[in-house]
With several copies, the nearest count.
Chain A
Amino acid sequence: MTPLSRNGIAARVALDIQDGWHVNLGIGMPEMVANYLPEGREILLHSENGILGMGPSPAEEDVDWTLINAGKKPVTALPGASYFDHAWSFGIIRGRHLELCVLGGYQVAPNGDLANWARDANDPLPAIGGAMDLAAGAQRIFVMMTHNDKSGAPKLLESCSFPLTGAGIVKKVYTDLCVIDVADNRFTVTDMVEGLTREELQNRTGAPLHFADQVAVLKDPA
C-alpha cells in the first residue's frame, strides 16, 4: 500500500474543481492544488489578500513582493485578474460567492466540524488568519490533510477535541489514504488507495467509516 504524496492529494482535489468555479486555496498544502488544475477548465483563484485571478509563481527575476498569496509566496496575476481591498475580499468570502475553499485540517468530525487553527484552547499564540471566514463563507469546504498525524493518531474523529474553525461546514476530506464524503453526520469513503483494506483504513480512523457502493481506486492522477 502506497499512500499518496502531498502532490498526489493536491492533484486529486484538483480533479473535483469544476470549470468556472471561483476558488480559495488555504495556506500550506492546499496551495499545491494550484499546480494541478485540470487542463481545459478555467478556474479563478481568489486569495484573501485581495486578488481574483491569481496565476502561478513567477520566474525569480519577475518576483514582486506586492504580488503574493495568502501564504506570502510570490504569485502572478492572470489576464482578467482584479485587485481589491480587504473589505471587498472578505465580502467575497463571507457573502458566499466562492464555490469552493480548500483548507488544511488538524481534525474533522462526521458532523462537518473542522479544527485547523489551534491544537490547544490555551495556545498563547493562536493563528486564525482567514480560515474562520473561509469556513463560514465558502459554498463548499474541502479539507486536505494527511490521514494521521506524525505520531500516527487519527485526524478523522467522532468529534473534534481541538478548538473549532467552523461547525458543520466540511463537505469532503482528501487524505493520503482516501477521499471521504461528509454528509448526514457520517463519513462515507468514495476513494481508497490500492492495497489498503477497509479494516486497516478503519483502524487508522477515529470515527466509523461507511463505504460508497462503488469505491474508486485512489491514485496519484499526476
Chain B
Amino acid sequence: MIDKRADDLARAFEGLGDGISVMIGGFGDAGRPAYLLKALLDSGIKDLHFISNNAGDGDTGLGAFYHAGRVRKLSCSFPRGSVAPLMEKLIRAGEFELEVMPQGTLAERIRAAGAGIPAFFTPTSYGTLIAEGKETRDFDGRGHVLETALHADVALIHAEQADRFGNLTFRHLARNFSPLMASAAKRTIVEADHVVELGDIDAHNVHSPAIFTDLVYQCHDVPEDSWHDWRASA
C-alpha cells in the first residue's frame, strides 16, 4: 500500500544531516511551506544550501535561518527583502554564499533536474555579467548560455490538496516553482491545507503527480512567536 501521509515531523528529515540542499517552494508568501520550514529549523540541521526564488523576510520563515546562522548558501533570483542587510553582513564575514541567477534560468534548471536534462542553452543573460565565464553558443544568429540542471536533497512544498499517493493541487499562484522542485529533489516533503481521499482530485487536474512526492503532512499554522526559539538555541 502506498501511503505517504505522516504525522511525526521527525520522519521528515530522518537520515539527513548538515550540509543538505533544500528547495523551498513559493513566490513571496504564495506557496511558502511555513510549517515544514519550522520543522527544518527545529531539526537543528545546519550549513543548509537553500534554493528558493526569494531570500525571505524578517526573522520568521526563511528569515529565521539567517538569524540562527543555519544557512551556508542561497541560490535564488531575487535576494531582496528585509533580510538583505543581514545577508550582506554574513557575506562580508565570509559566512554565507549567494548565487543569484535569472528567475527563468532558476526555474528551468530545476525543471531540467527533474526531467533528466543535464544541461540546456538559454538566451537569457547572454551578453551580461551573469554569463561571464559560461559556455556560450550561437543558434540562429543569437547568443545563448549553457546552464546545468539544479538538483537538491530535499524539497519543501506547500500544497492546497494532497492525497495518500502524493498527488497535489495548488491554490491560485501558489503553484509557481513547486511542481518543478517536487520533481528535482531526492526527498519531496509536502504540507497540505487539505489531506484528501484518493480520487478527490480529478486526474485531469493534478498539478503535481504522485510520483514526485515522498511524504505528506497536514499543515498547521506556525505561531509567529515560535520562530524565535532559535534565539534560545543559538
Q: Which residues of A are in contact with B by a Cβ distance under 8 Å?
A: 19-20, 22, 42, 44, 46-53, 64-68, 70, 72, 77, 79-98, 118, 121, 124-133, 135-137, 163-168
| A-binding segment of B63-71, B77-85, B224-232 | B77-85
Q: How far is the CB of B30 from chain A (nearest CB, A)?
A: 5
Interchain CB contact under 8 A, A128 and B130: yes
Interchain CB contact under 8 A, A124 and B91: yes
**Complex contacts, A84 vs chain B, CB 8 Å:** 175, 206, 209
Interchain CB contact under 8 A, B183 and A80: no
* Chain B 14-55 interface residues, beta-carbon cutoff 8 Å to A: 27-31
**Complex contacts, B199 vs chain A, CB 8 Å:** 79-80
B234 located at the interface, meaning its Cβ lies under 8 Å from any Cβ of chain A in the complex: no
Interchain CB contact under 8 A, A83 and B2: no
- A89–B98 CA distance with the chains assembled, in angstroms: 25
- A75–B41 CA distance with the chains assembled, in angstroms: 32
Interchain CB contact under 8 A, A133 and B104: yes
When C-beta atoms are compared, the residue in chain B nearest to A118 turns out to be B129
B87 located at the interface, meaning its Cβ lies under 8 Å from any Cβ of chain A in the complex: yes
B165 located at the interface, meaning its Cβ lies under 8 Å from any Cβ of chain A in the complex: yes
Contact with A along B177-202 (1 / 0, CB 8 A): 11110010000000000000011010
Q: How far is the CB of A151 from chain B (nearest CB, A)?
A: 23
Contact with A along B190-222 (1 / 0, CB 8 A): 000000001101011011011110000000000
Which listed residue, B176, B198, B209, touches A79 by the CB 8 Å rule? B198
When C-beta atoms are compared, the residue in chain A nearest to B212 turns out to be A97
**Complex contacts, A79 vs chain B, CB 8 Å:** 198-199
**Complex contacts, A133 vs chain B, CB 8 Å:** 102-105, 124
Q: Could you write out 30 A-B pairs with CB less than 8 Å apart?
A: A19-B2, A42-B1, A47-B173, A52-B210, A64-B172, A65-B28, A66-B170, A72-B27, A72-B28, A83-B173, A84-B206, A85-B207, A86-B103, A86-B180, A87-B179, A87-B180, A90-B108, A91-B114, A94-B108, A94-B115, A94-B123, A95-B114, A95-B116, A125-B84, A127-B100, A129-B77, A129-B102, A130-B102, A137-B104, A167-B128
Which listed residue, A22, A94, A164, touches B124 by the CB 8 Å rule? A94
- If A84-B175, A91-B115, A125-B98 touch, whether A130 touches B1 (CB-CB below 8 Å) is no
Q: How far is the CB of B141 from chain A (nearest CB, A)?
A: 12
- A64–B173 CA distance with the chains assembled, in angstroms: 10
B117 located at the interface, meaning its Cβ lies under 8 Å from any Cβ of chain A in the complex: yes
Which listed residue, A49, A64, A135, A137, touches B176 by the CB 8 Å rule? A49
- A137–B105 CA distance with the chains assembled, in angstroms: 12
Contact with A along B128-172 (1 / 0, CB 8 A): 111000000000000000000000000000000001110100111
Interchain CB contact under 8 A, A124 and B88: yes
Q: How far is the CB of A29 from chain B (nearest CB, A)?
A: 16
When C-beta atoms are compared, the residue in chain B nearest to A97 turns out to be B211
**Complex contacts, B30 vs chain A, CB 8 Å:** 49, 65-68
**Complex contacts, B2 vs chain A, CB 8 Å:** 19-20, 42, 44
Interchain CB contact under 8 A, B87 and A125: yes
- A165–B130 CA distance with the chains assembled, in angstroms: 9
Which listed residue, A53, A82, A163, touches B128 by the CB 8 Å rule? A163
**Complex contacts, A93 vs chain B, CB 8 Å:** 104, 116
- If A85-B177, A86-B180 touch, whether A80 touches B128 (CB-CB below 8 Å) is no
